[in-house]
Structure 1
Amino acid sequence: MTPPAGGGGHQVPDTDRVAAALLDARGRVVWWSRAAEDLLGWTSAQIAGTSARDLLEPDVTGSRPSGSARRLRLRHSSGAVVEADVHLVRSDAAGGGTLVVTAGPDGLVGWDRDTAFARAVLGQDRIAVAELDMDLRVVRTNAAFEAMRPAGQGDDWLRDLPGSGIHGTVRSFMALVAETGAPVIAAEYPFGADRVLSLTCIRISDPLGAPVGIAIAAIEVTERYHAQQRLSTAYRNAFEIGGSLDVVHSARDLVAVLVPALGDLACVDFPDDVLQGRDPPLGYPGAEASAPRRVAVRSADGVWPRGLAQVGEPTAPESESPELAALVVRGVLVADADLLREIMGHDPRLIARFMPEGMRSALGCPLHHRGRFFGYAAVYRTHDPDPFDEADVKLMQDLCHRAALAIDNAFQFTREHHTAVVLQRSLLPPSATESAAAETAGTYLPAGGSVSVGGDWFDAFPLSSLRIALVVGDVIGHGLQATATMARLRTAVQTLADLDLPPDELLMRLDDLVQRMMTEADESDTLGASCLFALYDPVTRVCQMASAGHPPPALVLPDGSAEYLAVVPGPTLGVGDNPFEVFTTTLPPGSVLALYTDGLVRRDHDTGDGEAGLLASLSRLVREGEPLDRIGAKLIAGHPSHDYPDDDVTLLLARTRAVAEHDMATWEYPADPAAVHEARADVNGRLEAWGLDEPAFATELIVSELVTNALRYAGGPIVLRLIRDRVLVCEVSDPSNTQPRLRRALNTEEGGRGLFLIAQLANRWGCRYGARGKTIWTEQALGVEPPPRRSP
């Protein structure tokens, strides 16, 4: 529409940015601004000649908000209602006419407020802002956006940024915002080599709500991003603190996180109580606390300054100020160089020892948990000029709290572990024994690291007639429960062995015991054990053994050849209803038996074969003539997890011996009363040949009683055997399986005093059963050195 021209024509505003219309004298529209088109949707062609009254909602009386403006409800071309304040300006020129100007309810004419806001946003140079149309083409940008544009890049550089965040690529989320109107707030994207942008995108709509484009604001957040990444990395690494349950390792873990997360240098000091394994007392002691000592340091360049306190050195000089001591124990210290010098009283020796050269700021925090003070940690910045902020303090407190918690857990574990180890060791036999049957040496290494002590045990104890029992067992589980179970089983083995049971029957009865223990235990408890029981007779040189799920023993013969014995393992104790098989072999004197638990041959950290390695090492050490205790120590030391084994390691070594022929005498008698006289004469003759005059009378009485009882109750043949060692063993064997019983005879009874007399004359006596018949044996202490051993 072209407005009238000439002196008599209507004057038209010089801008189309105002929603305005020009009416002639009859109230018909003769001119219509572009902003009015945008406001009501009518084009100039559509509105020309239309009466202004037709644009008003019918039956509506406008109100007058202020001045000459009247608030009216106008009809939009879509049928919608648009509320606006209308100003009427009448012309004084000939022909009349009226200028109609509309304004929003806020009092600004047309789009002036929006224009002012857009001008302010586009005019500032701190936040990069760009407007794009619906096709994602750049419409306009501000100076900050242009300054951020990489050299040689076009208008689409932001849209084409590489990488993908949680909102997808920049192009994809721009398109999504344009399509759905859902804004994207603070989406972070990499920019350049080492920069990060935070992007916020919203959709732009016209006054009627139709989308016309999008606006995007970009802020560089590189420094904040790297700070967050540093904190995230520090918190992730904090999970490594205390993994070893060792207080010094926990301190090393802490400084490894502090540098580089917070600074360039870090150190940790512990009181001597902590280092010596004593749980610190309750409270926050100050000067009365045990002297602290530096235990861990860390430097960003790998070199700890020489002037500062070194690892292992005390960190409590006499000139330490009370203020510093209070801070160390109770509070978090955040200080710059000047403040730290003031706290140290400007003491040059103290400053040189505790303040790094070129230090800009320091942060220190005590390590305490559950009211106990475990130490102090400090971190220094020598290159970064920024002081520590609240986030740094919070991170330092969190890391120190975790370290203190790890130390407290380590102390609790140490107390329980120490109790279990002490109990375990108190229940084990002496590490070395000497007897006529063998010399033995046992070695026990409790589980370390985060694993509690287990229920492994070994035992070597004498039996009747100079025999020896060798036992190794492994209880399922760890901790005090396993130790208590081990104690019960070890006692049961000794009790059953004293009954002179064969190995298979002993394990069957032990299996019954474990089954009863399982019925008595809680449902949460897991009971069971493996066990190897061996019985060696130095007279016959026969060794019998049976296994309940235990590894076979290793044997090294005197010539150096080594092998694992072909013991058939039965089920572990507690399974029940399964027999055990006895393995029998004859051992030459000087043979070395190695009984062990599976912890010795488990090679979790080694690619070699544990069993083969043990056999080769054992054979080599035996050929070299090493004593048994040193052999055991070297085999344990060669374990791949010697410092922190994940299971108990138990080893029992036994070097067999044999009784010489001239130290034994055996006679056989028929079922004839004259055999008693012959037996006395034979025994006296042999004792005289051995030079044993002192025990001759007692031995004669013992032999008389035993042979007489055998003739009376069992018949013949009767076998009498004497064995000389540290003790004098007397055995009488008969074909009867009747159990002899010691009783106190009445004064009126003529018999029944034989075993009572034997019990008074002998140090030990007992009865054992064989495949046929039984053997009653006695032992008398000789009080003299044993006869010389036959060399292997």
Structure 2
Amino acid sequence: MTTDEGAAAGRPDGLWGGRVETEGMAAAVIDADGCVAGWTLGAQRLLGYAAEEVIGRPFADLLAPTAAAQLRHRRGHRLEGELRISRLAARDGAPRWLAAFDPHPDARRRLASDRLALLSEASTRIGTTLDVMQTGQELADFAVPRLADYVTVDLAESVPLGEEPLARLGRDAGRIPVFRRAGVASIHEGIPEALWDRGEPVFVPPASPFTEVLTTGRSYIEPMLRKSLGTWLRCDPQRSRVIRRTEMHTVMMVPIQARGAALGIAVFVRTDNPAPFEQDDLVLAEELVERAALSLDNAHRYTREHTAALALQRNLLPARLSGGPALEVTSRYLPADLDHGVGGDWYDVIALPRDRVALVVGDVVGHGIRAAAAMGRLRTALRTLADLDLPPVELLTSLDRTVGRLTQEDADSPGATVSGVGATCLYVVYDPAERHVDIAAAGHLPPVVVGPTGVATVTEVPPGVPIGLGLGHFESVRIEIPDGSLIALYTDGLVEFPTEDIELGIRRLAAALAHPRLPLEELCDRAFAARRTPSLSDDTTLLLARTGPAGAHRHPDDRAAPDDA
């Protein structure tokens, strides 16, 4: 600590009694009672205290009780450096001093280290899933209260939430962007600052910092928000009322951008914390948003692909199933979760001559739009071959050749990068006149058959090889099926779990279905409820058919299913 009696002579009286800028110097004016009478912006940046928090307090409260020159930071840690005390000349003759603090280089390094640690923590807390809404909320939660008292994350083309997606943000002059709230957090219970909840569209004034940030792609900072109440907020009475009621006094708006596209905007506000935002705060906010933007963009793109694949798959699957006069049928399909994407499960019920019915369940390897498109091609090809009324073995052999030929044609296309289609399939033909079924499998799981007395059996079927490998070796079995029996076809998502053998899952399914007289929908519920844990990485499909005498299950409106492939 050093003292200079004349260094501050002639120092302007404007330092006294408030916050001023003195060329970035971290300094305080001390009155005759030893209390803080003035506070520079440099001191606020260095120690975290706003002028309103220190004016009138003893300067000694800011000193750490050590022999070395140390000041207390607002967050509790200490800063070492050189403290210089200079006598000030004042017009009223009252003694005053200027206390200037020059932090030690180690203190500066500590501040930089704290910042890096904060950003490192952000990388583990933001973007933990491929869900747009969750990622937006993680950004808001992380910034409160570390940086702000209230944070919103508003995005364009967010999760549809049962509606059509919002239009993507553009930079056209005069265009009013539309947002959907993806994240919101506050230090106050109930979030009284929020005008819109998560998932709701957010209004943005056409002439406001929001549109300015999106048009220019540059962040916006307003250290003293109250100065703007007569400008752009004049056209936004709702926000004006909330600002006055919650005492918002400083704001930052940061664009969320990735790969050159504007995804939305993050808004940071302080209410209880009296310190206004400064340039260092804005730099930190931009770094946080930049780290979150890539996760948001990945989640956004994945959500769009997942939605498109799901819509494609649902459009390719049969809208209505009919087993004709011989079978009562129903199905249950559950797509994989968002993190893994839609798979290639498919099922079908096909009317054949002489009241026979073909039951089909298959699973294309992979996820996403490519798997859904491959599933559609397989289902179309199989329906075409079924119209030829081929025995199950011949049908699977022809299907394997057809898929191989289509794959080769795709690979021969200019610039094509097509890999072979791999799929499993189970094809079952029920003959009500003979009371039997013919079954052939192409690498698929065997069916479960429940007799009218409730005895469940896992039918032994030669497994065969998946479709698309070009090997074309399949075998079939024929079993007797009495009236009132239940036939269950399914995909591995219903019975396969990482922690147990798949045979246990199949036996659990068989036990759940061992109630042949229950309604088929109730049996579907029992089968899905019996899963040890829901399958997150694969689609889950179940097709149930109950046999009966001719005409027993025909509904007056039932007709043979048209070829809707």
TM interval, shorter chain, is 0.5 to 0.7
Cα–Cα, structure 1 residues 197 and 509, in superposed 2: closer, same or farther, change >3 Å? farther
Cα–Cα, structure 1 residues 557 and 370, in superposed 2: closer, same or farther, change >3 Å? same
Tell me if the contact between 2:445 and 2:490 (Cα under 8 Å) persists in the aligned partners. Answer: yes
Cα–Cα, structure 1 residues 542 and 351, in superposed 2: closer, same or farther, change >3 Å? same
The one-character-per-residue Cα deviations of 1:43-90 (angstroms, maximum 9, x if unpaired) are xxxxxxxxxxxxxxxxxxxxxxxxxxxxxxxxxxxxxxxxxxxxxxxx
Could you tell me how far apart the structure 1 residues matched to 2:151 and 2:114 are?
20
Of the three residues 426, 430, 435, the one matched with 1:532 is: 426
Number of residue pairs aligned between Structure 1 and Structure 2: 455
The one-character-per-residue Cα deviations of 1:633-664 (angstroms, maximum 9, x if unpaired) are 6755776886x94222222111122338xx9x
1:58 match: none
Where do 1:661-680 residues align within 5 Å?
A: none
Could you tell me how far apart the structure 2 residues matched to 1:471 and 1:607 are?
25
Tell me if the contact between 2:513 and 2:523 (Cα under 8 Å) persists in the aligned partners. Answer: yes
Matched, 1:490 2:379: yes
1:552 match: 446
Cα–Cα, structure 1 residues 270 and 364, in superposed 2: closer, same or farther, change >3 Å? same
2:197 match: 311
1:333 match: 220
2:543 match: 652
Cα–Cα, structure 1 residues 638 and 243, in superposed 2: closer, same or farther, change >3 Å? farther
Could you tell me how far apart the structure 1 residues matched to 2:476 and 2:339 are?
38
1:610 match: 505
The residue identity in structure 1 corresponding to 2:184 is V
Deviates more, 1:485-494 or 1:367-376: 367-376
The residue identity in structure 2 corresponding to 1:593 is I
2:27 match: none
Tell me if the contact between 1:546 and 1:581 (Cα under 8 Å) persists in the aligned partners. Answer: yes
- CA drift of 1:570 comes to 1.7
2:184 match: 297
1:743 match: none
2:370 match: 481
2:67 match: 147
Tell me if the contact between 1:273 and 1:279 (Cα under 8 Å) persists in the aligned partners. Answer: no
Q: Percent of pairs identical after alignment?
A: 36
Could you tell me how far apart the structure 2 residues matched to 1:265 and 1:399 are?
15
Could you tell me how far apart the structure 2 residues matched to 1:446 and 1:378 are?
35
- CA drift of 1:197 comes to 7.8
- CA drift of 1:353 comes to 1.9
- CA drift of 1:474 comes to 1.1
Cα–Cα, structure 1 residues 436 and 547, in superposed 2: closer, same or farther, change >3 Å? same
Could you tell me how far apart the structure 2 residues matched to 1:293 and 1:574 are?
44
Tell me if the contact between 1:558 and 1:590 (Cα under 8 Å) persists in the aligned partners. Answer: yes
Gaps (5+ residues) in structure 2?
1-63, 71-75, 82-102, 412-416, 560-565
Where 1:466 maps in the other structure, the secondary structure is coil
- CA drift of 1:433 comes to 1.0
- CA drift of 1:229 comes to 2.6
1:247 match: 132
Matched, 1:267 2:167: no
- CA drift of 1:272 comes to 8.2
Matched, 1:322 2:207: yes
Could you tell me how far apart the structure 2 residues matched to 1:278 and 1:537 are?
51
2:324 match: 435
- CA drift of 1:252 comes to 0.7
The residue identity in structure 1 corresponding to 2:537 is D
Where 1:311 maps in the other structure, the secondary structure is coil
Cα–Cα, structure 1 residues 288 and 441, in superposed 2: closer, same or farther, change >3 Å? same
Where 2:541 maps in the other structure, the secondary structure is strand
Of the three residues 337, 361, 367, the one matched with 2:256 is: 367
1:563 match: 457
2:29 match: none
Could you tell me how far apart the structure 2 residues matched to 1:342 and 1:785 are?
69
Where do 1:724-739 residues align within 5 Å?
A: none
Cα–Cα, structure 1 residues 285 and 537, in superposed 2: closer, same or farther, change >3 Å? farther
Tell me if the contact between 2:404 and 2:470 (Cα under 8 Å) persists in the aligned partners. Answer: yes
The one-character-per-residue Cα deviations of 1:262-306 (angstroms, maximum 9, x if unpaired) are 22322223468875423425325767334x4544222357x2443
Where 1:375 maps in the other structure, the secondary structure is strand
Tell me if the contact between 1:477 and 1:526 (Cα under 8 Å) persists in the aligned partners. Answer: no
- CA drift of 1:529 comes to 1.2
Tell me if the contact between 2:169 and 2:264 (Cα under 8 Å) persists in the aligned partners. Answer: no
Gaps (5+ residues) in structure 1?
1-143, 151-192, 199-217, 664-724, 727-782, 787-792
Tell me if the contact between 1:534 and 1:545 (Cα under 8 Å) persists in the aligned partners. Answer: yes
Larger of the two Rg values belongs to structure: 1
- CA drift of 1:255 comes to 0.7
CA RMSD of aligned residues (A): 4.2
The one-character-per-residue Cα deviations of 1:695-754 (angstroms, maximum 9, x if unpaired) are xxxxxxxxxxxxxxxxxxxxxxxxxxxxxx99xxxxxxxxxxxxxxxxxxxxxxxxxxxx
Tell me if the contact between 1:284 and 1:329 (Cα under 8 Å) persists in the aligned partners. Answer: no
Matched, 1:283 2:180: no
Where 2:255 maps in the other structure, the secondary structure is strand
Could you tell me how far apart the structure 2 residues matched to 1:490 and 1:570 are?
19
1:626 match: 519
Where do 1:706-745 residues align within 5 Å?
A: none
- CA drift of 1:385 comes to 4.6
The residue identity in structure 2 corresponding to 1:471 is V
Could you tell me how far apart the structure 1 residues matched to 2:367 and 2:557 are?
45
- CA drift of 1:533 comes to 0.8
Where 1:433 maps in the other structure, the secondary structure is coil
Could you tell me how far apart the structure 2 residues matched to 1:239 and 1:337 are?
32
- CA drift of 1:472 comes to 0.9
Could you tell me how far apart the structure 2 residues matched to 1:784 and 1:418 are?
33
Could you tell me how far apart the structure 1 residues matched to 2:431 and 2:326 are?
7
Query: TM-score by structure 1 length?
Result: 0.50
Could you tell me how far apart the structure 2 residues matched to 1:423 and 1:346 are?
44
Tell me if the contact between 1:605 and 1:640 (Cα under 8 Å) persists in the aligned partners. Answer: no
1:122 match: none
Where 1:595 maps in the other structure, the secondary structure is strand
Relative contact order, higher structure (CA 8 A, sep 6+): 2
2:43 match: none
